Amino acid sequence: MRFGVVGTGVIGAGWATRALARGWDVVATDPADGAEDRLRVAVDQAWESVRKLGVFPGADPDRLEFVDSIGEVASAAEFVQESAPENEELKRSVHREIDADASPDVVVASSSSGLLPSNLQEGLVHPDRLVIGHPFNPVYLLPLVEVLGGRQTSETALEGATYIYEDLGMHPLRVRTEIEGYLSDRLQEAMWREILHLVNDGVATTGELDDAILYGPGLRWAGMGTNLTFHLAGGAAGMRHMLEQFGPALELPWTRLVAPELTDDLIDAMVEGTGAQAADRSIEELERLRDDYLISVMRALRAHNIGAGQILARWEERLHDVQQEQWSPGDVIPNPLELYRCRVEPEWVDYNRHMTESSYLLAAGWASDKLFRYIGIDDSYRAAGYSFYTFETTIKYLKEVGVDEPIRFATRILDVGDKSLRFVHEMFHADNGDQLASIEQLLVHVDTRARKSTPVLAHPAAALAAIARAHV
């Protein structure tokens, strides 16, 4: 497959990167000075991100060819994606050039974010093959692409574009009615205009308004969107009850937008639409799904210490503080130590609903964190420049365990040196007692600033020595 890109700014470069990651050849052009160099730099910078998602065999940024003219792209490509600036006359001119040289069976798509395709079709010899394929930045990561045609667009072209976008790992959303701004941007524009009003009126800062989304609605939108979320807000009766309860608020001056009259037809359309989204899932099932993916999203954000993930990290730190057992001289030390229990999280399981191999190690890592806190190695200890680094791990997988099942860890110290520590976590089903795995690790104590091994400091060294004696 040879994918054509006309216009190599941010959006065009994103298309090129996505097509290259699919393992396709890309031929691109842009008349701006230095465009080729900027395009290759943009692809190189994005490549690490697409690599993390996974690239196809043969995928290589070197399969990008930059040419001098639109005609060269049009005559060489099997699919053309135009990403020129959002200027209708400019885009019409570009499409006339593409139309003149592209084979009649080649679908030509525009990355326009709001122009009407019927207007772009004017004067073309083959208007039937022009479609809108509106992506979202970064194109190489976000899967949404809005697909719509103009008055002269053929169903064959729409189906062809949909097939290409699906092959690129995207979610083609067919926009059934030709309308300015399409769907997503109209929704975003409504919020954007309200933001500008609120800032202009001195009601809130931009940061406060972003917080109003990213700590609440934004998390829910990641998995359900607005309509299905509001369907759940109606309780057992769903969207109909939600509109009955909150419909009167539409008459209140909560936004600068004027709400449509809540007619019976509109209510029925909302109820039917969200009922189709829910399919045969009950409110209770949808609530469980929502809760599970919210936890997954927040945990993903925690790794980056931003938004709700940062809040979750603080919560967990407080939990550690109030729940954590800590060693003191003279304590009677259990053999083994049982410091960590949990349930198998939804993101820890595979398509068979069993805990993945890597998640055994992930859960054992939490057990190790409990052990470290027990002996006095906490955030302040690490902030001072000291920590244990894993040198060797051996895992024995003994039995499968499914999502939400309870597990517990029994930890025994096997050997302690002045700079090293060996222990084993035995993982059990917390209800039936079956042993699920054993995870044995050798760790080295490190001065993280000097980047070399160093003796364990006094308090944790004393704790480890006491535990080792108890576990002989």
116 and 31 housed in the same domain: yes
The tokens describing 46, both together, are: 């994005």
Residues of the chain under the 70 pLDDT cut: 318-324
CA angle centred on 123, ends 117 and 126, rounded to 5°:
75
Tell me if 130 sits within 8 A of 110, measured CB to CB: yes
One-letter amino acid for residue 444 of the chain: V
Domain containing 119: what range? Answer: 2-182
Residue 300 lies in a domain: no
Q: Looking at the structure, do residues 89 and 236 belong to the same domain, yes or no? A: no
Give the pLDDT score at 160: 98
pLDDT of residue 320: 65
pLDDT tens per residue, range 216-251: 999 899 888 888 888 988 888 899 988 888 788 777
Query: Is there a domain that residue 205 lies in?
Result: no
Are 20 and 93 contained in the same domain? yes
Domain boundary among 182, 201, 228: 182
Instruction: Provide the mean pLDDT of the chain.
Output: 93
In which residue are the tokens 């059934």 written?
176
User: How high is the pLDDT of residue 447?
Assistant: 97
The CATH number given to whatever domain includes residue 372 is: 3.10.129.10
Instruction: Tell me the torsion sign for CA atoms 76, 80, 86, 90.
Output: positive
What is the reported pLDDT for 258?
A: 83
Instruction: Let me know whether 239 and 355 are in one domain.
Output: no
Domain match, 80 and 129 both: yes
Residues 394 and 269 in one domain: no
Asked, for residue 318, whether it belongs to a domain, the answer is no
Question: Is residue 61 in a domain?
Answer: yes
Report the C-alpha gap between 235 and 328 in whole angstroms: 50
| Burial call 111-135: b when 16+ CB within 10 Å, e when fewer | bbbebbbeebbeebebbbbbbbbbb
Give a yes or no: residue 65 inside a domain.
yes
- Domain at 104, CATH number: 3.40.50.720
Q: What is the pLDDT of residue 250?
A: 77
Domain shared by 461 and 396, yes or no: yes
How many domains is the chain built from?
3
Q: What angle do CA 109, 223, 165 make, to 5 degrees?
A: 20
Question: Are 165 and 248 contained in the same domain?
Answer: no
Choosing from 290, 307, 335, the residue where a domain stops is 290
Q: Decide if 425 is inside a domain.
A: yes
Residues written for the chain: 472
